[in-house]
Structure 1
Amino acid sequence: MICEEASAAIVALPHSESDAAHFVSKNGKTWYKNPPPSRRIRAHNVINYKQNKPRPSNKMVYDPLSIFRSLITEDIVRIIILATNHKANQVATTWNENNSTKPKQCKALTLKEFDSFMAIILYAGLTKSNSKPARELWNSSHAPIYKAALSHDRFVSITKFIRFENVNSRPQRLLTSKTAAIDDIWLMLQANLEAAYTPHSSVTVDGQLFPYHGRTHFTQYQLFPYHGRTHFTQYLPYKPAKYGIKVSHKL
Protein backbone atom coordinates (compact mmCIF):
# COMPACT_ATOMS: atom_id res chain seq x y z
CA MET A 1 0.00 0.00 0.00
CA ILE A 2 1.35 3.47 -0.92
CA CYS A 3 0.75 6.25 1.59
CA GLU A 4 -1.12 9.43 0.51
CA GLU A 5 2.03 11.57 0.56
CA ALA A 6 3.94 9.11 -1.59
CA SER A 7 1.07 8.62 -4.03
CA ALA A 8 0.73 12.38 -4.50
CA ALA A 9 4.37 12.61 -5.47
CA ILE A 10 4.07 10.04 -8.25
CA VAL A 11 3.70 11.41 -11.75
CA ALA A 12 0.35 10.53 -13.35
CA LEU A 13 0.90 8.49 -16.48
CA PRO A 14 -1.24 8.57 -19.62
CA HIS A 15 -3.66 5.67 -20.14
CA SER A 16 -1.40 4.22 -22.81
CA GLU A 17 1.46 4.05 -20.28
CA SER A 18 -0.58 2.65 -17.39
CA ASP A 19 0.71 -0.82 -18.12
CA ALA A 20 4.36 0.22 -17.70
CA ALA A 21 6.52 -1.86 -15.38
CA HIS A 22 7.40 1.09 -13.14
CA PHE A 23 6.42 4.55 -11.92
CA VAL A 24 8.63 7.63 -11.75
CA SER A 25 8.20 10.08 -8.85
CA LYS A 26 8.70 13.85 -9.07
CA ASN A 27 12.20 13.60 -7.65
CA GLY A 28 13.16 11.14 -10.38
CA LYS A 29 13.06 8.01 -8.25
CA THR A 30 11.85 4.86 -10.00
CA TRP A 31 9.34 2.57 -8.28
CA TYR A 32 8.93 -0.90 -9.80
CA LYS A 33 5.59 -2.69 -9.62
CA ASN A 34 7.08 -6.13 -9.13
CA PRO A 35 10.03 -7.28 -6.99
CA PRO A 36 13.24 -8.14 -8.84
CA PRO A 37 13.58 -11.82 -9.80
CA SER A 38 15.79 -14.05 -7.67
CA ARG A 39 19.04 -14.86 -9.36
CA ARG A 40 22.41 -16.34 -8.55
CA ILE A 41 24.79 -14.10 -6.59
CA ARG A 42 27.45 -12.63 -8.81
CA ALA A 43 30.98 -13.87 -8.29
CA HIS A 44 32.35 -10.49 -7.17
CA ASN A 45 29.71 -10.35 -4.41
CA VAL A 46 30.64 -13.73 -2.94
CA ILE A 47 32.87 -13.25 0.11
CA ASN A 48 35.72 -15.70 0.46
CA TYR A 49 38.40 -15.30 3.10
CA LYS A 50 41.16 -17.44 4.50
CA GLN A 51 40.75 -18.48 8.10
CA ASN A 52 44.25 -17.70 9.37
CA LYS A 53 43.42 -18.47 12.99
CA PRO A 54 42.06 -21.74 14.38
CA ARG A 55 38.32 -21.86 14.90
CA PRO A 56 37.08 -22.55 18.44
CA SER A 57 36.59 -26.21 19.27
CA ASN A 58 33.10 -27.66 19.56
CA LYS A 59 33.47 -27.82 23.32
CA MET A 60 34.30 -24.12 23.47
CA VAL A 61 31.36 -23.20 21.26
CA TYR A 62 28.68 -25.18 23.07
CA ASP A 63 29.94 -25.12 26.66
CA PRO A 64 29.43 -21.71 28.34
CA LEU A 65 31.97 -22.47 31.06
CA SER A 66 34.63 -23.32 28.48
CA ILE A 67 33.94 -20.04 26.68
CA PHE A 68 34.30 -18.16 29.97
CA ARG A 69 37.56 -19.97 30.82
CA SER A 70 38.97 -19.20 27.38
CA LEU A 71 38.45 -15.46 27.97
CA ILE A 72 38.97 -15.16 31.73
CA THR A 73 41.91 -17.55 31.92
CA GLU A 74 43.65 -19.02 34.97
CA ASP A 75 46.42 -16.43 34.65
CA ILE A 76 43.90 -13.58 34.86
CA VAL A 77 42.07 -15.17 37.80
CA ARG A 78 45.36 -15.77 39.63
CA ILE A 79 46.33 -12.09 39.34
CA ILE A 80 42.92 -10.94 40.59
CA ILE A 81 42.86 -13.32 43.56
CA LEU A 82 46.41 -12.45 44.65
CA ALA A 83 45.81 -8.71 44.31
CA THR A 84 42.46 -8.89 46.12
CA ASN A 85 43.85 -10.89 49.04
CA HIS A 86 46.82 -8.52 49.26
CA LYS A 87 44.49 -5.52 49.53
CA ALA A 88 42.27 -7.22 52.11
CA ASN A 89 45.31 -8.15 54.26
CA GLN A 90 46.60 -4.60 53.97
CA VAL A 91 43.31 -3.13 55.21
CA ALA A 92 43.05 -5.68 58.04
CA THR A 93 46.62 -4.98 59.17
CA THR A 94 45.98 -1.23 59.27
CA TRP A 95 42.77 -1.75 61.25
CA ASN A 96 44.44 -4.02 63.81
CA GLU A 97 47.27 -1.55 64.33
CA ASN A 98 44.79 1.20 65.18
CA ASN A 99 42.26 -0.99 66.99
CA SER A 100 44.25 -3.51 68.99
CA THR A 101 41.31 -4.26 71.29
CA LYS A 102 39.04 -5.17 68.36
CA PRO A 103 41.23 -7.10 65.93
CA LYS A 104 39.81 -8.38 62.65
CA GLN A 105 40.78 -11.43 60.67
CA CYS A 106 40.93 -11.37 56.90
CA LYS A 107 39.28 -14.20 54.96
CA ALA A 108 41.23 -15.04 51.81
CA LEU A 109 39.40 -15.09 48.50
CA THR A 110 39.32 -18.57 46.96
CA LEU A 111 38.85 -19.71 43.37
CA LYS A 112 35.39 -21.08 44.20
CA GLU A 113 34.32 -17.76 45.72
CA PHE A 114 35.69 -15.86 42.73
CA ASP A 115 33.65 -18.04 40.36
CA SER A 116 30.55 -17.42 42.49
CA PHE A 117 31.27 -13.69 42.51
CA MET A 118 31.58 -13.60 38.71
CA ALA A 119 28.40 -15.68 38.34
CA ILE A 120 26.49 -13.09 40.36
CA ILE A 121 27.91 -10.22 38.29
CA LEU A 122 27.04 -11.91 34.99
CA TYR A 123 23.58 -13.02 36.10
CA ALA A 124 22.72 -9.56 37.42
CA GLY A 125 23.71 -8.07 34.07
CA LEU A 126 21.76 -10.71 32.16
CA THR A 127 18.58 -9.99 34.14
CA LYS A 128 19.03 -6.18 34.00
CA SER A 129 19.54 -6.07 37.77
CA ASN A 130 23.11 -4.75 37.78
CA SER A 131 22.02 -1.20 38.62
CA LYS A 132 20.04 -2.24 41.71
CA PRO A 133 21.48 -2.02 45.24
CA ALA A 134 23.25 -5.23 46.22
CA ARG A 135 21.09 -5.83 49.29
CA GLU A 136 17.95 -5.73 47.15
CA LEU A 137 19.21 -8.68 45.10
CA TRP A 138 19.37 -10.85 48.22
CA ASN A 139 15.72 -10.20 49.11
CA SER A 140 13.25 -13.05 48.81
CA SER A 141 11.60 -11.35 45.81
CA HIS A 142 14.64 -12.02 43.63
CA ALA A 143 16.07 -15.26 42.28
CA PRO A 144 17.59 -17.58 44.91
CA ILE A 145 20.80 -17.83 42.87
CA TYR A 146 22.28 -14.89 44.77
CA LYS A 147 21.84 -16.49 48.19
CA ALA A 148 22.99 -19.85 46.85
CA ALA A 149 26.20 -18.40 45.40
CA LEU A 150 27.42 -16.09 48.18
CA SER A 151 26.15 -14.31 51.23
CA HIS A 152 25.40 -10.62 50.84
CA ASP A 153 28.13 -9.57 53.28
CA ARG A 154 30.75 -11.70 51.52
CA PHE A 155 29.77 -10.28 48.12
CA VAL A 156 30.09 -6.73 49.42
CA SER A 157 33.45 -7.58 51.02
CA ILE A 158 34.85 -8.96 47.74
CA THR A 159 33.53 -5.92 45.87
CA LYS A 160 35.29 -3.64 48.34
CA PHE A 161 38.69 -5.32 48.14
CA ILE A 162 38.83 -6.61 44.57
CA ARG A 163 41.95 -5.41 42.75
CA PHE A 164 43.58 -6.23 39.43
CA GLU A 165 47.25 -5.44 40.04
CA ASN A 166 49.90 -4.91 42.70
CA VAL A 167 48.73 -1.80 44.54
CA ASN A 168 52.18 -1.11 46.03
CA SER A 169 53.78 -0.54 42.61
CA ARG A 170 50.88 1.44 41.15
CA PRO A 171 52.30 4.95 41.83
CA GLN A 172 55.38 4.16 39.74
CA ARG A 173 53.37 2.60 36.92
CA LEU A 174 50.94 5.52 36.84
CA LEU A 175 53.82 7.73 35.72
CA THR A 176 53.87 5.95 32.35
CA SER A 177 50.31 4.63 32.05
CA LYS A 178 46.99 6.05 33.19
CA THR A 179 45.52 2.55 32.99
CA ALA A 180 48.07 1.08 35.39
CA ALA A 181 45.33 -0.30 37.65
CA ILE A 182 44.05 -2.67 34.95
CA ASP A 183 46.83 -2.80 32.32
CA ASP A 184 47.86 -6.44 32.80
CA ILE A 185 44.30 -7.79 32.93
CA TRP A 186 43.13 -5.58 30.06
CA LEU A 187 45.90 -6.65 27.68
CA MET A 188 45.47 -10.33 28.54
CA LEU A 189 41.71 -10.15 28.02
CA GLN A 190 42.09 -8.41 24.66
CA ALA A 191 44.58 -11.07 23.52
CA ASN A 192 42.10 -13.79 24.51
CA LEU A 193 39.27 -12.06 22.65
CA GLU A 194 41.38 -11.77 19.51
CA ALA A 195 42.29 -15.46 19.71
CA ALA A 196 38.66 -16.52 20.09
CA TYR A 197 37.28 -14.68 17.06
CA THR A 198 38.62 -13.89 13.59
CA PRO A 199 36.81 -10.97 11.89
CA HIS A 200 36.61 -10.69 8.11
CA SER A 201 35.33 -8.23 5.52
CA SER A 202 31.65 -8.65 6.45
CA VAL A 203 32.01 -7.72 10.11
CA THR A 204 30.15 -4.68 11.44
CA VAL A 205 31.77 -2.61 14.19
CA ASP A 206 29.71 -0.55 16.60
CA GLY A 207 30.00 1.01 20.03
CA GLN A 208 28.45 -0.34 23.22
CA LEU A 209 27.22 1.44 26.33
CA PHE A 210 28.25 0.15 29.75
CA PRO A 211 26.95 1.74 32.96
CA TYR A 212 29.79 2.92 35.16
CA HIS A 213 29.92 5.05 38.29
CA GLY A 214 33.15 5.99 40.01
CA ARG A 215 36.56 7.57 39.65
CA THR A 216 39.00 6.62 36.96
CA HIS A 217 42.22 7.75 35.30
CA PHE A 218 42.02 6.26 31.82
CA THR A 219 40.44 7.03 28.45
CA GLN A 220 38.57 4.39 26.48
CA TYR A 221 36.87 3.69 23.11
CA GLN A 222 33.58 2.19 24.24
CA LEU A 223 31.42 4.77 25.94
CA PHE A 224 30.76 4.24 29.63
CA PRO A 225 27.93 6.40 31.04
CA TYR A 226 29.88 8.03 33.80
CA HIS A 227 29.09 10.07 36.90
CA GLY A 228 32.21 11.05 38.76
CA ARG A 229 35.36 13.16 38.76
CA THR A 230 37.83 12.80 35.92
CA HIS A 231 39.90 15.02 33.62
CA PHE A 232 38.87 13.31 30.41
CA THR A 233 35.10 12.89 30.58
CA GLN A 234 33.73 13.43 27.08
CA TYR A 235 30.47 15.06 26.05
CA LEU A 236 28.61 13.24 23.27
CA PRO A 237 25.22 14.85 22.59
CA TYR A 238 24.08 12.03 20.28
CA LYS A 239 24.39 9.37 23.01
CA PRO A 240 21.69 8.54 25.60
CA ALA A 241 24.31 9.13 28.29
CA LYS A 242 25.70 12.56 27.36
CA TYR A 243 28.89 12.28 29.39
CA GLY A 244 31.13 9.26 29.34
CA ILE A 245 34.54 7.68 29.00
CA LYS A 246 35.91 6.14 25.81
CA VAL A 247 37.87 2.92 25.39
CA SER A 248 39.92 2.32 22.24
CA HIS A 249 41.83 -0.67 20.94
CA LYS A 250 43.84 -0.82 17.72
CA LEU A 251 44.10 -4.16 15.91
Structure 2
Amino acid sequence: MTPSNLRLCRSLLFLPASNARAIEKARDLPVDLVVLDLEDAVKAEDKESARRMAAEAAAQGFGDKPSAIRLNAVGSPYFGDDVVAVRRGGADYIVLPKVESRRQVHDAGQLTEKPILAMIETAAGVLEAPAIAKEAVGLIIGTNDLVADLGIPGGAGRGGLMHALQTVVLAARAAGVPAFDGVYNRLDDEEDLAAECREGRSFGYDGKSLIHPSQIETANRIFGPSEEDVAAAERLIAAATGGAERFEGRMIEDMHVTEARAVIARAHR
Protein backbone atom coordinates (compact mmCIF):
# COMPACT_ATOMS: atom_id res chain seq x y z
CA MET A 1 0.00 0.00 0.00
CA THR A 2 1.47 3.30 -1.09
CA PRO A 3 1.15 6.57 0.84
CA SER A 4 -1.38 7.76 -1.74
CA ASN A 5 -3.92 5.08 -0.76
CA LEU A 6 -3.28 4.84 2.97
CA ARG A 7 -6.68 6.49 3.32
CA LEU A 8 -8.17 3.11 2.45
CA CYS A 9 -6.89 1.69 5.77
CA ARG A 10 -9.75 1.06 8.18
CA SER A 11 -7.82 -0.84 10.86
CA LEU A 12 -4.27 -0.55 12.23
CA LEU A 13 -3.38 -3.39 14.60
CA PHE A 14 -0.55 -2.67 17.05
CA LEU A 15 1.11 -5.81 18.42
CA PRO A 16 4.27 -6.40 20.45
CA ALA A 17 7.20 -7.15 18.18
CA SER A 18 8.45 -9.47 20.93
CA ASN A 19 5.40 -11.75 20.62
CA ALA A 20 6.11 -14.36 17.94
CA ARG A 21 2.68 -15.96 18.28
CA ALA A 22 0.86 -12.66 17.77
CA ILE A 23 3.00 -11.88 14.73
CA GLU A 24 2.26 -15.22 13.11
CA LYS A 25 -1.45 -14.92 13.83
CA ALA A 26 -1.54 -11.45 12.26
CA ARG A 27 -0.67 -12.92 8.86
CA ASP A 28 -4.19 -14.36 8.59
CA LEU A 29 -6.14 -11.51 10.15
CA PRO A 30 -8.36 -9.19 8.03
CA VAL A 31 -6.56 -6.09 9.31
CA ASP A 32 -5.48 -3.38 6.86
CA LEU A 33 -2.12 -2.45 8.42
CA VAL A 34 0.02 -4.45 10.86
CA VAL A 35 2.11 -2.32 13.23
CA LEU A 36 4.99 -4.13 14.95
CA ASP A 37 5.55 -2.25 18.18
CA LEU A 38 9.00 -1.67 19.67
CA GLU A 39 7.80 0.99 22.11
CA ASP A 40 5.19 0.74 24.88
CA ALA A 41 4.27 -2.92 24.33
CA VAL A 42 7.84 -4.18 24.82
CA LYS A 43 9.72 -4.42 28.13
CA ALA A 44 13.17 -2.84 28.34
CA GLU A 45 14.86 -6.22 28.63
CA ASP A 46 13.09 -7.42 25.47
CA LYS A 47 13.90 -4.46 23.24
CA GLU A 48 16.86 -6.09 21.51
CA SER A 49 15.08 -9.31 20.64
CA ALA A 50 11.99 -7.35 19.58
CA ARG A 51 14.05 -5.38 17.06
CA ARG A 52 15.34 -8.58 15.52
CA MET A 53 11.90 -10.16 15.41
CA ALA A 54 10.32 -7.05 13.90
CA ALA A 55 12.93 -6.89 11.15
CA GLU A 56 12.52 -10.59 10.38
CA ALA A 57 8.72 -10.41 10.36
CA ALA A 58 8.66 -7.35 8.11
CA ALA A 59 11.11 -9.02 5.70
CA GLN A 60 8.88 -12.09 5.53
CA GLY A 61 5.84 -9.89 4.95
CA PHE A 62 2.16 -10.23 5.78
CA GLY A 63 0.78 -11.33 2.45
CA ASP A 64 -1.09 -8.50 0.77
CA LYS A 65 -1.15 -6.46 3.99
CA PRO A 66 1.37 -3.63 4.45
CA SER A 67 3.35 -3.45 7.67
CA ALA A 68 4.86 -0.75 9.84
CA ILE A 69 7.28 -0.73 12.75
CA ARG A 70 6.74 1.66 15.65
CA LEU A 71 10.04 2.92 16.99
CA ASN A 72 10.75 4.24 20.44
CA ALA A 73 10.52 8.01 20.67
CA VAL A 74 13.20 10.37 19.43
CA GLY A 75 15.51 11.09 22.35
CA SER A 76 14.85 7.79 24.11
CA PRO A 77 17.84 5.53 24.84
CA TYR A 78 16.42 2.98 22.39
CA PHE A 79 15.85 5.18 19.34
CA GLY A 80 19.32 4.84 17.80
CA ASP A 81 19.35 1.05 17.96
CA ASP A 82 15.80 0.98 16.59
CA VAL A 83 16.88 3.01 13.56
CA VAL A 84 19.80 0.70 12.85
CA ALA A 85 17.53 -2.35 13.07
CA VAL A 86 14.82 -1.08 10.69
CA ARG A 87 16.89 0.93 8.20
CA ARG A 88 16.29 -0.38 4.69
CA GLY A 89 14.28 -3.25 6.16
CA GLY A 90 11.10 -4.82 4.86
CA ALA A 91 8.53 -2.64 6.63
CA ASP A 92 6.47 -0.36 4.40
CA TYR A 93 6.21 2.42 6.99
CA ILE A 94 7.72 3.65 10.22
CA VAL A 95 5.41 4.82 13.02
CA LEU A 96 7.12 7.56 15.03
CA PRO A 97 5.63 8.18 18.50
CA LYS A 98 5.32 11.43 20.44
CA VAL A 99 6.11 13.66 17.48
CA GLU A 100 6.24 17.35 18.32
CA SER A 101 7.90 18.91 15.28
CA ARG A 102 8.16 18.61 11.53
CA ARG A 103 11.92 18.29 11.89
CA GLN A 104 11.57 15.07 13.89
CA VAL A 105 9.60 13.50 11.06
CA HIS A 106 12.06 14.69 8.43
CA ASP A 107 15.09 13.42 10.34
CA ALA A 108 13.47 10.04 11.09
CA GLY A 109 12.62 9.63 7.43
CA GLN A 110 16.19 10.39 6.45
CA LEU A 111 17.59 7.96 9.02
CA THR A 112 15.25 5.06 8.30
CA GLU A 113 14.72 5.70 4.57
CA LYS A 114 11.02 4.98 5.13
CA PRO A 115 7.79 7.02 4.95
CA ILE A 116 6.73 8.16 8.42
CA LEU A 117 3.35 7.89 10.12
CA ALA A 118 3.51 10.48 12.90
CA MET A 119 1.80 9.90 16.23
CA ILE A 120 0.35 13.01 17.87
CA GLU A 121 0.38 12.25 21.62
CA THR A 122 1.10 15.51 23.44
CA ALA A 123 -0.30 19.02 23.65
CA ALA A 124 2.79 20.29 21.82
CA GLY A 125 2.20 17.73 19.08
CA VAL A 126 -1.41 18.81 18.63
CA LEU A 127 -0.40 22.46 18.27
CA GLU A 128 2.28 21.52 15.71
CA ALA A 129 0.07 19.02 13.85
CA PRO A 130 -0.40 21.21 10.73
CA ALA A 131 3.37 21.43 10.22
CA ILE A 132 3.96 17.77 11.10
CA ALA A 133 1.33 16.63 8.59
CA LYS A 134 3.25 18.33 5.78
CA GLU A 135 6.22 16.01 6.38
CA ALA A 136 4.43 12.75 7.31
CA VAL A 137 2.43 10.37 5.13
CA GLY A 138 -0.27 10.19 7.79
CA LEU A 139 -1.19 11.17 11.36
CA ILE A 140 -2.23 8.89 14.21
CA ILE A 141 -3.64 10.47 17.34
CA GLY A 142 -2.32 8.72 20.46
CA THR A 143 -5.21 9.29 22.80
CA ASN A 144 -3.83 7.43 25.84
CA ASP A 145 -0.68 9.53 26.12
CA LEU A 146 -2.58 12.68 25.18
CA VAL A 147 -5.07 12.16 28.00
CA ALA A 148 -2.15 11.90 30.43
CA ASP A 149 -0.37 14.92 28.98
CA LEU A 150 -3.51 17.06 29.21
CA GLY A 151 -4.24 15.95 32.76
CA ILE A 152 -7.68 14.56 31.92
CA PRO A 153 -8.93 12.25 34.70
CA GLY A 154 -9.03 8.55 33.88
CA GLY A 155 -12.46 7.31 32.88
CA ALA A 156 -13.65 10.82 31.97
CA GLY A 157 -14.41 9.83 28.38
CA ARG A 158 -13.27 11.66 25.26
CA GLY A 159 -15.03 14.97 25.87
CA GLY A 160 -11.78 16.70 26.81
CA LEU A 161 -10.15 15.43 23.61
CA MET A 162 -12.68 16.86 21.16
CA HIS A 163 -10.59 19.85 20.14
CA ALA A 164 -7.45 17.72 19.71
CA LEU A 165 -9.30 15.01 17.76
CA GLN A 166 -10.68 17.56 15.32
CA THR A 167 -7.39 19.49 15.07
CA VAL A 168 -5.53 16.36 13.96
CA VAL A 169 -8.11 15.65 11.24
CA LEU A 170 -7.99 19.26 10.06
CA ALA A 171 -4.18 19.14 9.89
CA ALA A 172 -4.21 15.87 7.95
CA ARG A 173 -6.82 17.04 5.46
CA ALA A 174 -5.05 20.34 4.86
CA ALA A 175 -1.87 18.40 4.03
CA GLY A 176 -3.70 15.77 1.98
CA VAL A 177 -2.75 12.81 4.19
CA PRO A 178 -4.85 10.28 6.15
CA ALA A 179 -5.70 10.49 9.85
CA PHE A 180 -6.25 7.57 12.20
CA ASP A 181 -8.10 7.57 15.51
CA GLY A 182 -6.53 6.34 18.75
CA VAL A 183 -7.02 3.00 20.50
CA TYR A 184 -9.98 1.81 22.51
CA ASN A 185 -8.62 0.20 25.67
CA ARG A 186 -11.39 -2.13 26.79
CA LEU A 187 -11.60 -5.59 25.24
CA ASP A 188 -15.04 -6.65 26.49
CA ASP A 189 -17.36 -3.87 25.31
CA GLU A 190 -18.00 -4.19 21.57
CA GLU A 191 -20.94 -1.79 21.75
CA ASP A 192 -18.86 1.03 23.21
CA LEU A 193 -16.03 0.28 20.77
CA ALA A 194 -18.51 0.61 17.93
CA ALA A 195 -19.76 3.90 19.33
CA GLU A 196 -16.22 5.27 19.51
CA CYS A 197 -15.55 4.10 15.94
CA ARG A 198 -18.69 5.87 14.74
CA GLU A 199 -17.62 9.01 16.57
CA GLY A 200 -14.16 8.90 14.97
CA ARG A 201 -15.69 8.30 11.57
CA SER A 202 -18.06 11.25 12.06
CA PHE A 203 -15.02 13.49 12.71
CA GLY A 204 -13.45 12.38 9.42
CA TYR A 205 -10.91 9.79 10.59
CA ASP A 206 -10.04 7.19 7.97
CA GLY A 207 -9.53 4.27 10.37
CA LYS A 208 -8.77 3.27 13.93
CA SER A 209 -5.77 2.06 15.90
CA LEU A 210 -6.43 -1.32 17.53
CA ILE A 211 -4.82 -3.33 20.32
CA HIS A 212 -6.54 -6.72 19.90
CA PRO A 213 -7.67 -8.87 16.95
CA SER A 214 -11.21 -8.97 18.36
CA GLN A 215 -11.57 -5.27 17.49
CA ILE A 216 -10.81 -5.66 13.77
CA GLU A 217 -14.28 -6.61 12.52
CA THR A 218 -15.92 -3.64 14.23
CA ALA A 219 -13.39 -1.12 12.89
CA ASN A 220 -13.52 -2.54 9.37
CA ARG A 221 -17.31 -2.52 9.33
CA ILE A 222 -17.74 1.03 10.60
CA PHE A 223 -14.87 2.68 8.75
CA GLY A 224 -15.70 0.79 5.57
CA PRO A 225 -18.82 1.49 3.46
CA SER A 226 -21.87 -0.74 3.84
CA GLU A 227 -23.55 -2.51 0.93
CA GLU A 228 -26.21 0.18 1.05
CA ASP A 229 -23.54 2.91 0.84
CA VAL A 230 -21.97 1.26 -2.20
CA ALA A 231 -25.29 0.77 -3.96
CA ALA A 232 -26.21 4.42 -3.37
CA ALA A 233 -22.81 5.54 -4.69
CA GLU A 234 -23.22 3.45 -7.82
CA ARG A 235 -26.69 4.90 -8.43
CA LEU A 236 -25.40 8.43 -7.99
CA ILE A 237 -22.52 7.92 -10.43
CA ALA A 238 -24.86 6.38 -13.01
CA ALA A 239 -27.36 9.22 -12.67
CA ALA A 240 -24.93 12.15 -12.70
CA THR A 241 -24.64 14.07 -15.96
CA GLY A 242 -22.53 16.99 -14.75
CA GLY A 243 -23.22 20.19 -12.88
CA ALA A 244 -25.89 20.66 -10.23
CA GLU A 245 -28.90 18.37 -10.54
CA ARG A 246 -31.56 16.57 -8.52
CA PHE A 247 -30.91 13.02 -7.34
CA GLU A 248 -33.16 11.00 -5.02
CA GLY A 249 -34.61 14.08 -3.36
CA ARG A 250 -31.40 16.08 -2.94
CA MET A 251 -29.09 18.24 -5.00
CA ILE A 252 -25.79 16.82 -6.20
CA GLU A 253 -22.84 18.15 -8.18
CA ASP A 254 -19.38 16.98 -9.25
CA MET A 255 -18.01 16.84 -5.69
CA HIS A 256 -20.65 14.25 -4.79
CA VAL A 257 -19.56 12.08 -7.72
CA THR A 258 -15.99 12.25 -6.43
CA GLU A 259 -17.20 11.22 -2.96
CA ALA A 260 -19.18 8.33 -4.44
CA ARG A 261 -16.13 7.05 -6.28
CA ALA A 262 -14.16 7.18 -3.04
CA VAL A 263 -16.82 5.07 -1.33
CA ILE A 264 -16.54 2.43 -4.04
CA ALA A 265 -12.72 2.47 -3.81
CA ARG A 266 -12.91 1.83 -0.06
CA ALA A 267 -15.33 -1.04 -0.63
CA HIS A 268 -13.00 -2.65 -3.16
CA ARG A 269 -10.12 -2.37 -0.70
Q: TM-score range by the shorter chain?
A: under 0.3
**Normalized per residue, which structure has more strand?**
2
Query: Larger radius of gyration, structure 1 or 2?
Result: 1
What TM-score, normalized by structure 1, do the two folds share? Answer: 0.22
Of Structure 1 and Structure 2, which has the larger fraction of its residues in helix?
2
Using structure 2 for the length normalisation, give the TM-score.
Answer: 0.21
| Structure with higher RCO (Cα < 8 A, 6+ apart) | 2
